[in-house]
Structure formats: structure tokens, C-alpha cells
Amino acid sequence: MGARRPHEPAELTLRVRRHDDGALTFSTPTCPGWAFTARRPAQIGEAIARAWTEAAIAAYARWRGTLYDLAEHEDELPPEVLPAASPHPAEVPPADELAALRARDERQRARRVRHPRTHEPEAWVELGDGYWRSPSGRKYRPDAAVVASVRAARSR
């Protein structure tokens, strides 16, 4: 199994209610409106798997700032199922946060402008036979993509 995503729950709390006929009804406080009734022992594992899936869906809805879909039909909701206070990723943040985000994006863009092993275009040497020698000593054909980028950088 892969790494847990930030919105996925790390644990699951289940409520189990036993009926007179021996059936077990599973529910979880983080998923109001969801329940699964197991009548055979094999269905207990299915109930746990489905509860885990519903808890992940409810956590994702909360993480995105929306109400879990089955909770919309409930009269009273516990505080742990209400949407998180963080805004939806598509919403525009306030001006001060926007400035901080732009500064962070600018820093990231500046970091990736140049690969750390990139040499200056002037450090490349054009050989007499049309080939090019890189500062690291490798020889490149005249039609190589890296040679084209060196020529373009030199012409700027």
C-alpha cells in the first residue's frame, strides 16, 4: 500500500450495534448518515473496508472545505465532520497571502531556471569539424539538441 495522503484518516472509529436477530450495524462518527449492516461473519470485513472508504471520502470533503454528502441529510452534526476553515484551493486568497504565494512561486521559479550542472554557453568550444566540446569534455554532433540550445543562448 502506498503512502497515506494528507487528507486520509490515520485511524477509524467504529460504532457497532447488535440487533435482536444477531445482525451488526456499523457506523462511524466522522460519517454521519452512513451505516452498514452485516448479517454474516464475512460481511464484517466488508463493513470495515466500506467504513474506511467512507471515512476517507468524508475527510477529503472536509479537507476541500465542503460538507460530506451523506451528512447533508442529518439534523445535528458533530464538530469533527464540519468543513475545515481552510479555503478551497480554487478560491483566491487574501492580498497578504497572495503576495506571500507570489514570492514563494518566484523563488521556486528562480531555482529551476538553470540546472545545477549547466555550463555557460561561452564555455563551449566549437571544433573545426563542426562538432562541439562541452566544458565537461564530452563531444557533441552539430545537430544535437544541446548544441542548438548553446547556439541559441549565445545569440541572445
Strands (DSSP E) found in the chain: 15-18, 24-27, 35-38, 125-126, 132-133, 139-140
pLDDT (tens digit per residue) in 79-124: 555 555 555 556 666 677 777 777 777 777 766 666 656 778 888 9
Q: Is 37 helix (H, G, I), strand (E, B) or coil?
A: strand
pLDDT (tens digit per residue) in 13-32: 899 999 999 999 999 887 87
Separation CA 76–CA 96 (nearest Å): 36
Q: pTM of the full predicted structure?
A: 0.46
Q: Which residue ranges make up each domain of the chain?
A: 15-92, 114-155
Which grid coordinates belong to 57? 471520502
